[in-house]
Amino acid sequence: MSIRIGIYGYGNLGRGVEAAIRQNNDTELVAVFSRRNPETVKISTEGVPVVSADSVEDYKDKIDVMIICGGSATDLPVQTPKLAKLFNVIDSFDTHANIPTHFANVDVAAKEGGNVGVISVGWDPGMFSLNRLYANCILTDGVDYTFWGKGVSQGHSDAIRRIEGVADARQYTVPVQEALDAVRNGENPELTTRQKHTRVCYVVAKEGADKAAIEEQIVKMPNYFSDYDTTVNFITADEMARDHSGLPHGGLVIRSGKTGLNGEHNHIIEYSLKLDSNPEFTACVLVAYARAAYRFSQEGVSGCKTVFDVPPAYLSALSHEEIISHLL
Amino acid sequence: MSIRIGIYGYGNLGRGVEAAIRQNNDTELVAVFSRRNPETVKISTEGVPVVSADSVEDYKDKIDVMIICGGSATDLPVQTPKLAKLFNVIDSFDTHANIPTHFANVDVAAKEGGNVGVISVGWDPGMFSLNRLYANCILTDGVDYTFWGKGVSQGHSDAIRRIEGVADARQYTVPVQEALDAVRNGENPELTTRQKHTRVCYVVAKEGADKAAIEEQIVKMPNYFSDYDTTVNFITADEMARDHSGLPHGGLVIRSGKTGLNGEHNHIIEYSLKLDSNPEFTACVLVAYARAAYRFSQEGVSGCKTVFDVPPAYLSALSHEEIISHLL
């Protein structure tokens, strides 16, 4: 019997979840829920209905885990607690500062519904968090570094697109190689924002736009660019479509720490991701944690969980015997 | 109140555990158990007794978790089940093929004693296993690679030392850079033993020994060297002491996998360790899992566990609120 999954929200992430379900034989897509008119939403899985988000309650007994694919700014703070009353849920809530509040809200709602809610699942928060935790527990005397990229930041790309005269834009966050090298060498450098990442922008200007003015507005933009070394490249719409249509991302979590009676030995733990598709990878993590939510639920557990609370074995479709024999 | 820890076996690993306990404020060393005459064993922690292994039963109610620091070949298969009847235990059993049997034996003994036994804790098995599992659960369509080194293989060093005319030897296992590059590029190469690792040996020959004969015996030694490209460097005893007295090690676990409706996107997950001291790092992992064993035990859980069964949060001395706020 498969784990019956619903997708709530059908953007890049929802499409990624749909694809990931096909790669996991013990999961099955039951329905996609959308706030748009369902007739206008075309999905890739034959025979699976697109249902209005307003009718989600009708699926209460037809879905084992709902994977919520909304945005963290305004969608998830409302959707996840609401849906956790009806379903086991997974989300990728990624506003780090608000995670404790979100956890508390989902915990109350999930317990009320007798369901499990796993929040902040993906790669950061998610796999990067796990690696920060494991590395901190092992090397208690150490320093953490997180680098992002090379990858597309959608928030920064959007910020450029709002500048007058810009037709399209793509912004890549890129770790600074010298900083990475120093960290990997165990030098434990103190790094400013500027020393850790650079920002590389590709911009399609509208006809007749003042490129110098656009470039100046970008590099001086507070919060987004002014604290970084930013490079602006003007390209054509064709070049944008040809070279920058993907959503690659990735990054590294490194902990450098000392052991020994006198801290005489240094150790570097490094976890890195190179992702051709940020949303599809995130979706794969969500589906693995959907399996864990289902297992918790089968055990009668309810309430909010994070990646820190899930025994790794719960993520696997394989039996305990198999993972001990083949992966330990 | 601290977690009261015993160390059973005081070699490199036992000394590493002793140092690691000092870096974890919620743990405390109660006693070191040795099969040697306790009077001949000098430890680094003042006021802590060295006790004969024969008297371990006297400590039944004085120790929360026993960290067993014996060898996998003959010590741990006997020691871990025996001690699991008396104590919560942790070991670093690393004979991969025999893990299922060891798990079954420890499970029976630990349940009989009402204790928890966490086996095969360290970095491989241990952190590498965890990374293989996580990566397999996320990228279900992919290929795994494990590389070891650059680091000292004690088994290979010992094999060289047994050759006639050899006074001392140190063998480094080194990943082949071209193989690593191909894996990181997502080429999913099929790699032979020779293509993955090289072996670099440093040998101190006895006076008048036939170096050419020693070198030939090394590079042709079956199982240990004949399947590898092996380099032999003859050095002086002084050079050995100066340049090769440490026990560095490390390695990489990489999974390369595809996502998307048509497998059109590639992803690379890489976990790597660069360790100045193999035994001290392993010891740090053991102490973190001792904390988890203690938590399980406080919950009334008994039986055998592996790193796959432990929720990551159980490894941390911090509260759940703290790890959610600072590490997620």
Residues of B in contact with A274 (CB under 8 A): 184, 267-268, 270
Is B328's CB within 8 Å of A307's CB?
Answer: yes
Distance CA B79, CA B89 (A): 10
Helix or strand (DSSP H, E) at A63 = none
Is B271's CB within 8 Å of A275's CB?
Answer: no
Are B64 and B294 a contacting pair, CB within 8 Å? yes
Distance CA A230, CA A233 (A): 10
Is B274's CB within 8 Å of A267's CB?
Answer: yes
The C-alpha of B233 sits at a distance from chain A's nearest C-alpha, in angstroms, of 26
Q: What is the pLDDT of residue A25?
A: 96
The C-alpha of B189 sits at a distance from chain A's nearest C-alpha, in angstroms, of 18
Residues of A in contact with B183 (CB under 8 A): none
Q: Is ipTM beyond 0.90?
A: yes
Among A24, A48, A138, A270, the strongest candidate for a mutation testing the B interface, having the largest count of B CBs within 10 A, is A138
What are phi and psi for residue B174, nearest 5 degrees? -130, 125
The C-alpha of B32 sits at a distance from chain A's nearest C-alpha, in angstroms, of 16
Contacts of A328 (CB under 8 A, 6+ apart): B96, B99, B120, B125, B129, B306, B307, B308
Q: How far is CA A101 from CA A64, A73, A77, A118, B324, in A?
A: 25, 13, 9, 14, 10
pLDDT band at residue A5 under the 50/70/90 scheme: very high
Of A103, A129, A324, the CB nearest to B99: A324
For A249, name the nearest residue in chain B, comparing CA atoms only: B267
Of A130, A261, A313, the CB nearest to B44: A261
Q: What is the pLDDT of residue A314?
A: 98
Cβ-based contacts under 8 A for chains A and B: 213
Contacts of B323 (CB under 8 A, 6+ apart): A133, A308, B313, B316
Q: What is the pLDDT of residue B1?
A: 78
Residues of A in contact with B100 (CB under 8 A): 321, 324-325
Is A268's CB within 8 Å of B273's CB?
Answer: yes
For B316, name the nearest residue in chain A, comparing CA atoms only: A137
Distance CA B54, CA B233 (A): 44
Q: What is the pLDDT of residue B308?
A: 98
Closest CA to B157 of B280, B275, B227, B244: B244
Q: What is the pLDDT of residues A130-183, one digit of tens each?
A: 999 999 999 999 999 999 999 999 889 999 999 999 999 999 999 999 999 999
Is B307's CB within 8 Å of A328's CB?
Answer: yes
* CA B217 from centre of chain: 29
pLDDT above 90 for A1: no
Q: What is the pLDDT of residue A241?
A: 97
Q: What is the pLDDT of residues A254-267, one digit of tens each?
A: 999 999 999 999 99
Among A137, A181, A284, A318, the strongest candidate for a mutation testing the B interface, having the largest count of B CBs within 10 A, is A137
Contacts of B264 (CB under 8 A, 6+ apart): B258
The C-alpha of B195 sits at a distance from chain A's nearest C-alpha, in angstroms, of 22
A12-22 helix and A278-298 helix, angle to the nearest 10 degrees: 60
DSSP state of A317: S
Point out the residues of chain B with pLDDT beneath 50.
none
Is A281's CB within 8 Å of B268's CB?
Answer: no
Percent of chain A with pLDDT over 90: 98
Q: Helix/strand/coil (H, E, C) string of B210-265?
A: CHHHHHHHHHCCCCCCCCCEEEEEECCHHHHHHHCCCECEEEEEEEEEEECCCCCE
Closest CA to B139 of A285, A291, A276: A285
Are A146 and A135 a contacting pair, CB within 8 Å? no
The C-alpha of B15 sits at a distance from chain A's nearest C-alpha, in angstroms, of 9
pLDDT above 90 for A125: yes
Q: Read off the pLDDT of each residue in A188-215 and give the average, rounded to a whole number.
A: 97
pLDDT band at residue A84 under the 50/70/90 scheme: very high
Closest CA to B252 of B281, B277, B272, B275: B272
Is B267's CB within 8 Å of A260's CB?
Answer: no
For B184, name the nearest residue in chain A, comparing CA atoms only: A274
Is B316's CB within 8 Å of A137's CB?
Answer: yes
Q: What is the pLDDT of residue A237?
A: 97
pLDDT above 90 for A23: yes
Of B99, B269, B316, the CB nearest to A133: B316
